[in-house]
Copies of this chain bind each other. A is one copy, B any other.
């Protein structure tokens, strides 16, 4: 590890230990101050964003970035308003830290308490969108974690200005710890972050498929996120054709570049109204592909692979083989077959007669979203604040020793209080 990075990582670790033990009120005061300072300094942020956009225009002209990257870079009044409101919304959420998850008397005078606590230091690696920095910083503060952020070089002026405003705001809050939110800049820093398992406890990548894949393959630190969203809709033999059409159109066209958009339509070969269904999709400007190059393409546009399957088991197997474990839906009028599908499809979200587009922390009612995880440990599906927490066990005794129990002088009674 370079000396510079080690210094930042150690400071983050120290900050994480300090913020672990501060009050809900202090955290909320910090969040409100950040929102307030964004309002006060928003013109400076817009100016910094203008500089990034000017440089990005050249990159766009040279073909070095895409139009969609360019668009994500832009911070307008609308996005700024959302960004500020987002911080205030997080302030108003329940504190995820210090919750008693279990309270159990092991024996007289010996009480075990399982309490939610922060994870520690989060490493955030994100691409173009500069508003991510504010959202993630706010989530980290609310969950008492420290963060090291690495943004894309295209947004460097904007993110640096936003960071400045955040830390300016935090400096105004008495007793708020230092170095809770830090930023690094170079490509080397990403490499160092991924190797820094001594200090960083969780990596959260926010960006495209390639970035997330690279990160997952190059670190021993747990990574929270998803590389791809290959979602399916399976139209069963007994499906209502209108419902199927409505759901597929929503899942494909409502926001085609979202990770929870459908990429593959599976149709039971005994479904009688398949041609009607396919015709209705084409009418909604969906480009249908019956022989895709592969079954795990994330189109990001109004293109949809489709395939006929001979049984529900074939559908389930296709999904478990080619899917990304994100969100998959069955359209059927048979609840038993739906239950079978939901139990056997190994995905974070398994839906029955609903669009895959519902896979989202806000729609689930979490109030905030860290991201969507396709992991099989820690957190899965849309992740709210809870995903940034773990727990510790507090044991309070009065001189209790194990030897008394090993020798049979005392016995555990394990009586739950909470």
List the interface of chain A (C-beta within 8 A of B).
Answer: 16-17, 20-21, 104, 106, 110, 112, 119-120, 201-202, 216-217, 219-220, 222, 240, 242-243, 246-247, 249-251, 254-255, 320, 338, 340, 342-344, 346-355, 357-359, 363-365, 375-378, 380-382, 390-403, 405-406, 412, 414
Contact = CB atoms under 8 A, between A and B. Distances in A.
Contact of A395 (B21, B351, B365): B351
A232 to B, nearest CB: 14
B402 A358 contact: yes
A346 B120 contact: yes
A240 B120 CA distance: 33
B398 A350 contact: no
With most chain B CB atoms within 10 A of its CB, the pick from A246, A343, A347 is A343
Contact of A402 (B110, B220, B254, B381): B254
21 contacts: A106-B363, A110-B354, A120-B346, A120-B376, A220-B220, A247-B401, A251-B401, A349-B393, A349-B395, A351-B394, A351-B397, A352-B396, A353-B398, A353-B399, A353-B400, A354-B400, A354-B401, A355-B402, A378-B390, A381-B392, A381-B393
B396 A353 contact: yes
Contacts of A365: 104, 106, 112, 412, 414
B401 A357 contact: yes
Nearest to A13: B320
Contact of A222 (B21, B222, B350, B394): B222
A338 B220 CA distance: 34
A406 B350 CA distance: 21
B17 A344 contact: yes
A217 B128 CA distance: 31
A318 B354 CA distance: 54
